């Protein structure tokens, strides 16, 4: 009998415990059953939003840096942005874009490593004062050669930045054509230069050096190099390379350019999205350098042996003017002046010029004239 009473007591205790747990569960989720429909919808919407935000964080700030670290093609795209603007360009008909006195031509360059030949597209833009007296008979290098030989103007080799081709910098061309005979080239991988060829710093610099030497072979006039943005970094590197062959341009003009790619990337709008990450250096900056994306202008500019002029706007949100100022400080303080050439720096206030509009400033023609005069004086001092 005692055993039976013990069995019943245990069974009762077990049943009570189950019912007690059930009551607790009901109390725990009871708030949901009492919620109105709109409250339930809001509840689940908040949960869904949290999941979306979490997944977005993982994809953007974890997965993408890891993919970037291991994909050189993605790194190359974000460095060069080599797509056409304007799209579907017709380089043989400059008049379609409002240009007059322009000859389209192509030069052949050779890779330094494998001797592969590459076709580089370029425009020759005749100075404004010579347009009405010049007839362009054909779009080819021979025509350009004759025009270079006959002009009385100095020559400027223009290197554009990213996300464009040689058609794009119209406002800059308008200013330069008042002072120079202008040769504007598309870097390999841009426009119609080397179709299906991937751009690289070394490759573009190698092309630019050969193009400069070709221009030099066609004329005895003074030659300047002008580089905008990434084109400025390429210009500095190219002038350094020319020095190895005892070739020194008359002057170097840099527009809205930077110090090194390692310092520029965190300053871009995209870079700022990732620069706070603890793994930013390991997944973004270090792989870029490992794969040859250096653009170390602060080092290259030390071997520039001609006068330098740098133009930069304070409201440039692509390349901060502080990077341009830092580059010029290196050129001033770590080069031998005057033997290596004087340095001129013009900073424009917040006038709405941004990254590409400062050549529309009314002072630019005067600054160019002053720089040309400085370069002439410097050349006289060299004897």
Please compute the mean of the pLDDT values over residues 241-257 and round it to a whole number: 97
pLDDT at res. 44: 87
pLDDT at 383 over 90: no
C-alpha–C-alpha distance, residues 68 and 306, integer Å: 38
State the Cα torsion 346-347-349-353 to the nearest 10°.
Answer: 90
Pair type for strands 251-255 and 343-348: unpaired
Q: Give the bridge partners for 228, in sequence order.
A: 255
pLDDT at 148 over 70: yes
DSSP E strand boundaries for the chain: 102-110, 117-125, 155-159, 181-185, 223-228, 251-255, 308-313, 343-348
**Position 3 confidence tier, pLDDT thresholds 50, 70, 90:** very low
C-alpha–C-alpha distance, residues 101 and 153, integer Å: 15
- Cβ contacts of residue 127 below 8 Å, gap of 6+? 151, 153, 177, 178, 179, 180, 181, 182
Contact in structure between 202 and 295 (CB atoms under 8 Å): no
C-alpha–C-alpha distance, residues 91 and 286, integer Å: 38
Question: String of b and e for 223-237 (b: at least 16 CB within 10 Å)?
Answer: bbbbbbbbbbbbbbb
pLDDT at 20 over 60: no
Mean pLDDT of the chain: 90
pLDDT at 250 over 70: yes
**Would you say the C-alpha torsion 189, 194, 199, 201 has a positive or negative sign?**
negative
The pLDDT > 90 percentage for the chain reads: 77
pLDDT at res. 379: 82
pLDDT at res. 57: 87
For residue 381, give the H/E element and its range: helix 364-382
State the Cα torsion 42-44-47-49 to the nearest 10°.
Answer: -60
**Would you say the C-alpha torsion 137, 104, 90, 184 has a positive or negative sign?**
negative
Helix axes 201-218, 141-150, angle to 10 degrees: 60
- Cβ contacts of residue 66 below 8 Å, gap of 6+? 283
**Position 115 confidence tier, pLDDT thresholds 50, 70, 90:** confident
Q: For 8, what's the count of Cα atoms within 13 Å in the CB-facing half-sphere? A: 5
C-alpha–C-alpha distance, residues 159 and 232, integer Å: 7
Summarize pLDDT for 309-357 with one digit per residue, the tens: 999 999 999 999 999 999 999 999 999 999 999 999 999 999 999 999 9
The pLDDT > 70 percentage for the chain reads: 91
pLDDT at 9 over 70: no
Cis before residue 86, ω within 30 degrees of 0? yes
CA angle 177-181-183, nearest 5°? 100
Among 20-34, 53-67, 184-198, 282-296, the least confident range: 20-34
pLDDT at res. 15: 44
Three-state DSSP class for 321?
Answer: helix
Summarize pLDDT for 154-182 with one digit per residue, the tens: 999 999 999 999 999 999 999 999 999 99
Tokens of 281: 């250096």
**Position 28 confidence tier, pLDDT thresholds 50, 70, 90:** low
CB atoms within 10 A of CB 11: 10
pLDDT at 23 over 60: no
pLDDT at 4 over 80: no
pLDDT at 30 over 90: no
pLDDT at res. 10: 46
Three-state DSSP class for 216?
Answer: helix
pLDDT at res. 29: 57
Please compute the mean of the pLDDT values over residues 233-248 and round it to a whole number: 97
């Amino acid at each position: 009998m005692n055993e039976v009473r013990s069995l019943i007591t245990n069974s009762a205790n077990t049943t009570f415990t189950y019912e007690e747990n059930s009551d607790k569960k009901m109390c725990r989720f009871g708030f949901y059953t009492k919620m109105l429909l709109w409250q339930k919808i809001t509840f689940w919407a908040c949960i869904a939003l949290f999941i979306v935000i979490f997944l977005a964080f993982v994809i953007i700030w974890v997965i993408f840096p890891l993919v970037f670290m291991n994909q050189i093609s993605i790194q190359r795209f974000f460095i060069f942005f080599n797509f056409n603007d304007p799209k579907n360009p017709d380089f043989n008909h400059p008049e379609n874009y409002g240009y007059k006195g322009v000859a389209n031509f192509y030069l052949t360059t050779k890779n330094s490593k494998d001797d592969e030949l590459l076709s580089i597209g370029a425009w020759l833009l005749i100075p404004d004062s010579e347009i009405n007296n010049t007839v362009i008979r054909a779009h080819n290098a021979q025509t350009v050669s004759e025009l270079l030989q006959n002009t009385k103007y100095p020559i400027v080799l223009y290197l554009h930045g990213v996300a464009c081709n040689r058609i794009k910098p119209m406002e800059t061309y308008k200013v330069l054509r008042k002072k120079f005979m202008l040769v504007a080239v598309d870097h390999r991988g841009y426009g119609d230069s080397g179709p299906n060829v991937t751009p690289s710093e070394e490759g573009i610099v190698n092309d630019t050096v050969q193009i400069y030497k070709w221009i030099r072979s066609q004329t005895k006039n003074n030659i300047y190099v002008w580089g905008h943005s990434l084109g400025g970094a390429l210009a500095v590197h190219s002038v350094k390379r020319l020095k190895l062959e005892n070739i020194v341009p008359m002057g170097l003009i840099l527009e809205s350019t930077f110090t090194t790619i390692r310092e520029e990337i965190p300053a871009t709008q995209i870079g700022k999205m990732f620069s706070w990450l603890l793994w930013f250096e390991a997944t973004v900056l270090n792989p870029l350098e490992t794969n040859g994306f250096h653009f170390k202008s602060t080092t290259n500019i030390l071997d520039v042996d001609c006068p330098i002029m740098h133009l930069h706007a304070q409201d440039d949100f692509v390349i901060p003017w502080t990077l341009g100022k830092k580059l010029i400080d290196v050129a001033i303080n770590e080069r031998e002046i005057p033997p290596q050439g004087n340095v001129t720096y013009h900073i424009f206030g917040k006038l709405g010029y941004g990254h590409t509009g400062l050549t529309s400033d009314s002072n630019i023609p005067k600054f160019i004239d002053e720089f040309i005069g400085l370069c002439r004086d410097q050349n006289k001092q060299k004897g």
